[in-house]
């Protein structure tokens, strides 16, 4: 029996992530198969063809979508689009595979991590996953390792059928943590979830372990491919890494690149996505700071693409090269001064 990396696609909004994830795993020379659970009902033929070329097995789930209770999702997380993530449960029914490592489509691998299949031994009724940065006593369900098993699958389906009773957040993460209260820990380096809100980060640890990070996971509403405009690109939280790889894989075909970046955005539909128009308007504003006007607007990740071609990220070349995302944050003088 073989092992595989798996992901999930339901609707077009995560196509940029699915294509970049698969391409990156290929580039990193994984020896394992790539599979995808796919609801093809709303995916255009052109993108279906790309997905079929990239993934070893496309598993149709058009008539198997498992949805979480919307009411609890809305009340607990305000993320109704996550209802379809219950479809991850179908992974346990793929008994042709001995081991599956599941990856959300908004994950970007930074280095080969095939050792995950040999390490972290589990049984058919166990799960291995990384701690969630928001509450480390539970695991983040964006990356996990399982052994597919028919009995476990049936038990999960029964467990999930009780409405919102068995999921404390209304989504798959709450459900899986309730079902697997004792889980095998995979180090956080395998599923690093930078805090996109800039609330809490343990910066010394990021600095120490930065080069050992296996995967970046772009949690939350805002994905690298659907931010509001170039001025709001999330420089402080690793988005430039995704754009580097996306441009490398799809930057040569500008027509295809445009189509990928202008797909319906699903969970980000409430965002304004005017891109270059917003940038041009902003640059014409009299009150725009001198620092922004002097920014170099050439993408580092697109082989020389300019802002007219992509809205990757801003780089200010008037200062020394920055290595870590937090070095992009603007340093403001204190608003209060206390004197003796």
Tokens of 244: 């580097």
Domain extents in the chain:
2-190, 232-328
For helices 15-27 and 254-261, what crossing angle results, to 10°? 130
SS3 content of the chain, % helix, strand, coil (to 5): 40, 15, 45
Q: Which among 85, 81, 9 has a CA at the least distance from the CA of 41?
A: 9
**Residue 298 phi, psi (nearest 5):** -100, 135
Over its length of 340 residues, how does the chain's per-residue pLDDT go in tens digits? 899 999 999 889 999 999 999 999 999 999 999 999 998 888 999 999 999 999 999 998 887 655 544 343 334 434 444 445 578 889 999 999 999 999 999 999 999 999 999 999 999 999 999 999 989 999 999 999 999 999 998 898 888 877 667 878 777 898 999 999 999 999 999 999 876 555 567 778 888 999 999 999 998 777 889 764 444 555 555 788 999 999 999 999 999 999 999 887 654 333 333 333 333 343 344 433 333 233 332 333 333 333 333 333 333 333 344 445 445 455 556 666 666 5
Q: Which CATH architecture has domain 2-190?
A: Alpha-Beta Complex (3.90)
Residue 118 pLDDT: 97
Sign of CA dihedral 321, 24, 18, 161: negative
Residue 136: alpha-carbon gap to chain centroid: 19
What are the pLDDT digits (tens) for 194-232? 765 555 677 788 889 999 999 999 987 778 897 644 445
The reported pTM is 0.74
If one counts every other C-beta atom within 10 angstroms of the C-beta of residue 220, the result is: 16
Question: Quick one: how many helices (H) and strands (E) in the chain?
Answer: 10, 9
Q: Which among 243, 230, 248, 136 has a CA at the least distance from the CA of 192?
A: 136
Nearest-angstrom CA–CA distance, 119 and 3: 13
SS (H, E, C) 210-265: HHHCCEEECCCCCCHHHCCCHHHCCHHHCHHHHHHHHHHHHCCCHHHHHHHHCCCC
Q: Strands of 97-103's sheet, edge to edge? A: 57-60, 33-39, 2-10, 97-103, 135-146, 128-132, 184-185
Tokens of 175: 């459900």
Residue 171: is it exposed, middle or buried by C-beta count within 10 angstroms (0-12/13-18/19+)?
A: buried
Q: Which among 3, 16, 186 has a CA at the least distance from the CA of 107?
A: 16
Residue 178 DSSP SS3: helix
């Amino acid at each position: 029996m073989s092992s595989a990396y798996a992901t999930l696609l339901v609707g077009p909004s995560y196509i940029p992530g699915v294509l970049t994830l698969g391409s990156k795993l290929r580039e990193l020379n994984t020896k394992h198969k790539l599979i995808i659970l796919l609801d093809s009902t709303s995916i255009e033929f052109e993108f279906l063809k790309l997905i079929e070329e990239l993934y070893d097995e496309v598993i149709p789930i058009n008539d198997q979508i498992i949805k979480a209770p919307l009411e609890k999702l809305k009340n607990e997380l305000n993320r109704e689009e996550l209802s379809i993530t219950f479809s991850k449960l179908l992974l346990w029914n793929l008994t042709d595979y001995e081991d599956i490592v599941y990856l959300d489509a908004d994950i970007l691998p930074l280095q080969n991590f095939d050792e995950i299949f040999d390490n972290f031994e589990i049984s058919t009724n166990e799960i291995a996953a990384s701690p969630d940065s928001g509450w480390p006593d539970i695991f983040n369900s964006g990356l996990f390792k399982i052994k597919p098993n028919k009995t476990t699958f049936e038990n999960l389906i029964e467990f999930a059928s009780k409405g919102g009773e068995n999921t404390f957040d209304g989504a798959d993460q709450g459900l899986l943590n309730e079902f697997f209260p004792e889980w095998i820990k995979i180090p956080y380096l395998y599923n690093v979830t930078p805090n996109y809100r800039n609330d809490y980060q343990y910066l010394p640890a990021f600095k120490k372990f930065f080069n050992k990070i296996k995967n970046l996971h772009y949690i939350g509403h805002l994905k690298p491919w659907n931010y509001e405009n170039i001025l709001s690109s999330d420089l402080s939280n690793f988005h430039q890494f995704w754009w580097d790889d996306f441009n490398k894989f799809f930057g040569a075909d500008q027509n295809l690149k445009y189509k990928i970046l202008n797909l319906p955005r699903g969970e980000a539909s409430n965002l304004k996505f005017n891109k270059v128009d917003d940038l041009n308007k902003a640059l014409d504003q009299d009150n725009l700071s001198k620092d922004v006007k002097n920014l170099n607007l050439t993408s580092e990740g697109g082989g020389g693409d300019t802002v007219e071609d992509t809205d990757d990220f801003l780089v200010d070349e008037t200062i020394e090269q920055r290595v870590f995302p937090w070095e992009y944050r603007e340093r403001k003088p204190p608003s209060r001064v206390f004197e003796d």
